[in-house]
Amino acid sequence: VNINLANVPVENATFTPAPTAVPTTVPATSAPATQANLVGGVIVFEPSQPTCAQTFVVGFDVANLGSQPTAASGTVSLVDTRTADGSQQGTTIGGFPILQPGQTFRVTMPLTISTYYAEQHTITLVVDSTGQIPETNEGDNTRTQTYTLAKGSCP
């Protein structure tokens, strides 16, 4: 079959596509509200007198004083500094599990300091130092403790 289109009128029409809908911006949602509140508490040393070049354990109580469980487990960071000039002498971290409301967990962190014996040191402990666990009050997560490092067998 042959069709002759020579006598068919041609229209000069232009095609205008329908406008593309602009997607509406979805507002960002904030992190879910939480009623967990991690608080740093008691600090203990074992043995009670840290000695130069001998490992001692720092125990640090972390409590959830909020009304909901924490959203995740977390960490505690520890920094030992020479009190005289603030220079860092050692660091370590410890961990704790998800804490239920009212629950306290003792985080234990071994530490060995071999500098500046017979001088005062300051240990600074921070619960959830990276801010990974949502909580009602981030301002009660830090505790400090000073001690004098005994000479022991250090030269």
Residue 45 burial by Cβ neighbours in a 10 Å radius (0-12, 13-18, 19+): middle
13's tokens:
């029409």
What are the backbone dihedrals phi and psi of residue 10, each rounded to the nearest 5 degrees, phi first? -105, 130
Distances (CA, A) of 38 to 32, 47, 76: 17, 27, 11
Q: Given this model, what pLDDT does residue 22 score?
A: 62
* The residue to which tokens 């001692």 are assigned: 56
Q: What is the pTM of this model?
A: 0.77
**With contact defined as beta carbons under 8 Å apart, do 125 and 45 qualify?**
no
Find out whether 64 and 70 touch, Cβ atoms under 8 Å: yes
pLDDT at residue number 34: 81
Domains and CATH numbers, the chain: 38-132+143-148 (2.60.40.10)
Please report, in tens digits, the pLDDT of each residue of the chain (155 residues total): 655 656 655 555 455 556 666 666 655 545 556 899 999 999 999 999 999 999 999 999 999 999 999 999 999 999 999 999 999 999 999 999 999 999 999 999 999 999 999 999 999 999 999 999 999 999 999 999 999 999 999 99
Q: How is residue 98 written in tokens?
A: 């998800």
Task: State the Cα–Cα distance between residues 83 and 146, nearest whole angstrom.
Answer: 8
β strands within the chain, DSSP E? 38-46, 56-64, 74-82, 88-96, 104-111, 120-127, 142-148
